[in-house]
């Protein structure tokens, strides 16, 4: 079981409020991702749940019981750190065994679980090596193995993929998702990468300056960002945001349209502009279009075969059913 509930949780470091009073429910078996720019308090929030930091005020419940003052060792949670935090002086086997050794689990059971975890994570051949002799991806797997064998109520991941190169990151992302499907254990995952958040999460928690901006499924956040911050943060490439006449005409202070919801044409359309930088990805092409009266270039997604060049004139038509409108405070208008 792994239900985690935060009630009015606050964290101050000295005079700075890192987490403003915050409530959050994490259901058993859910994959929850905390996402936000660096310094938004997402890692601190995770460390509060882990018990590595004290809350300044508020209550943390795990499976219905108050865990606020409980030391990390007794919370029944497992954590995978950004640096993996493997014990460099122990073999992979001993690393994975350590939490069970601390819990006083007998040797036979220890070995059974180690072998099972190693098989699942492709580590069987490396059990007698030291962490220093492993690649980044293998170390990551050892860290996960060490977390699995405890059979925790929930897994906590603190930016686990940020030290891996791009190709490995995609692979590990899938492995962690598969692990979640298989174990059905609650996972709380911190990242600054919105792509990781979108691809892995059941529920995304967007944080900024210690405040939850929005909680919802990836598609909820994509379709109906509650405010300008979420609108700008979720989605890649970023949503185009425009103010001025175009926004007023649509009854908003700011309006946004995603690159994939604009139709580009070399001959006709609502807006006229010139092509700046174009990025050809094969399947898609992104044009950065410069428009008169609009300082920032508009990003547009076009089919892979559209051939327009730097300096060509381009016409753009937004899909008016997919526009997002925001008021003066930056909140979504419905």
Partner 1 sequence: MATKASRSAARVMIAPSVLLLLGWMLIPLALTLYFSVLRYNLLMPGANPFVGVENYTYFLTDPAFTDAIINTLLLVGGVLTITVLGGIALAILLDQPMWGQGIVRILVIAPFFVMPTVSALVWKNMFMNPVNGLFAYLAKAIGMQPFDFFAAAPLASIIGIVSWQWLPFATLILLTAMQSLDSEQLEAAEMDGAGPLARFRHIMLPHMARAITVVILIQTIFLLSIFAEILVTTNGGPGTASTNLTFLVYAESLLRFDVGTGSAGGVVAIILANIVAIFLMRMIGKNLDT
Partner 2 sequence: MARAISARRKALNTAIAWTIGAMIFFPILWTFLTSFKTEAQAIADPPIFFLFDWTTENYTTVQERSNYFRHFWNSVVISIGSTIIGLAIAIPAAWSMAFVPSKHTRNILMWMLSTKMLPPVGVLVPIYLLFRDLKLLDTQFGLIIVLTLINLPIIVWMLYTYFKEIPGEVLEAARMDGATLRSEVLYILLPMAVPGIASTMLLNIILAWNEAFWTLNLTAAKAAPLTAFIASYSSPEGLFYAKLSAASTMAIAPILIMGWFSQKQLVRGLTFGAVK
Site residues for partner 1 per CB under 8 A:
51-54, 71
In total, the chain counts a number of residues equal to 334
Task: Calculate the CA dihedral of residues 220, 325, 205, 7 and round it to 10 degrees.
Answer: -110
> Which of 70/215 has CB closer to partner 1?
70
> Which of 79/241 has CB closer to partner 2?
79
- From the list partner 2, partner 1, none, partner contacted by residue 182 (C-beta under 5 to 8 A by kind): none
Q: Pick from 8, 23, 69, 73: which binds partner 2 (CB under 8 A)?
A: 73
- From the list partner 2, partner 1, none, partner contacted by residue 53 (C-beta under 5 to 8 A by kind): partner 1
**Nearest-approach distance from CB 115 to partner 2, in angstroms:** 19
**Nearest-approach distance from CB 69 to partner 1, in angstroms:** 8
- From the list partner 1, partner 2, none, partner contacted by residue 54 (C-beta under 5 to 8 A by kind): partner 1
Structure-block tokens of residue 162: 């940020």
Q: Is 291 in the site for partner 2 (CB under 8 A)?
A: no
Q: From the CB of residue 127, how many other CB atoms can be counted at a distance below 10 Å?
A: 18
> Which of 71/303 has CB closer to partner 1?
71
With CB under 8 A as the contact rule, which of the stretches 35-43, 69-77, 215-223, 257-265 interacts with partner 2?
69-77
With CB under 8 A as the contact rule, which of the stretches 30-38, 84-92, 261-269, 296-304 interacts with partner 2?
84-92
Distance CA 163, CA 169 (A): 9
Is-contact 81 140, C-beta < 8 A?
no
With CB under 8 A as the contact rule, which of the stretches 82-90, 188-196, 198-206, 244-252 interacts with partner 2?
82-90
**Nearest-approach distance from CB 44 to partner 1, in angstroms:** 9
Please give the residues from 108 up to 167 whose contact with partner 2 meets the rule CB under 8 A. Answer: 146, 150
Distance CA 334, CA 283 (A): 33
Q: Pick from 78, 127, 188, 316: which binds partner 2 (CB under 8 A)?
A: 78
* CA 42 vs CA 11, 159, 270: distances in Å: 12, 10, 41
> Which of 85/291 has CB closer to partner 2?
85
Q: Is 183 in the site for partner 2 (CB under 8 A)?
A: no
Distance CA 219, CA 222 (A): 5
**Nearest-approach distance from CB 84 to partner 2, in angstroms:** 8
Q: Pick from 24, 77, 120, 323: which binds partner 2 (CB under 8 A)?
A: 77
Site residues for partner 2 per CB under 8 A: 50, 52, 71-74, 77-79, 81-83, 85-89, 98-99, 102-103, 146, 150
């Amino acid at each position: 079981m792994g239900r985690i509930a935060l009630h009015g949780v606050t964290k101050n470091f000295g005079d700075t409020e890192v987490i403003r009073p915050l409530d959050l429910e994490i259901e058993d078996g859910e994959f929850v991702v905390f996402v936000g720019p660096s310094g938004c308090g997402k890692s601190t929030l995770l460390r509060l749940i882990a018990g590595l930091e004290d809350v300044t005020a508020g209550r943390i419940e795990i499976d219905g019981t108050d865990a606020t003052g409980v030391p990390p060792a007794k919370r029944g949670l497992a954590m995978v750190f950004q640096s993996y935090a493997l014990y460099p002086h122990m073999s992979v086997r001993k690393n994975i065994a350590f939490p069970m050794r601390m819990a006083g689990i007998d040797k036979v059971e220890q070995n059974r679980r180690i072998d099972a975890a190693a098989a699942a994570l492709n580590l069987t051949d490396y059990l007698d090596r030291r962490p220093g002799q492993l690649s980044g991806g293998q170390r990551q797997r050892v860290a996960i193995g060490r977390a699995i064998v405890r059979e925790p109520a929930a897994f906590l991941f603190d930016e686990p993929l940020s030290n891996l190169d791009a190709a490995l990151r995609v692979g590990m992302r899938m492995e962690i998702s598969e692990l979640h499907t298989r174990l059905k254990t609650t996972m709380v995952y911190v990242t600054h990468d919105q792509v990781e958040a979108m691809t892995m999460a059941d529920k995304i928690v967007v944080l900024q300056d210690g405040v939850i901006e929005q909680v919802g499924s990836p598609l909820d956040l994509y379709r109906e960002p509650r405010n300008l911050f979420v609108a700008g943060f979720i989605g890649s490439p970023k949503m185009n945001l425009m103010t001025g006449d175009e926004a007023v005409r649509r009854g908003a202070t700011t309006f946004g349209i995603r690159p994939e919801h604009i139709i580009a044409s070399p001959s006709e359309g609502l807006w006229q502009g010139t092509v700046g930088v174009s990025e050809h990805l094969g399947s898609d092409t992104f044009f950065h279009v410069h428009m008169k009266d609009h300082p920032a270039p508009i990003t547009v997604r076009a089919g892979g075969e559209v051939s327009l060049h730097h300096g060509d004139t381009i016409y753009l038509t937004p899909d008016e059913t997919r526009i997002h409108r925001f008021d003066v405070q930056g909140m979504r208008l419905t």
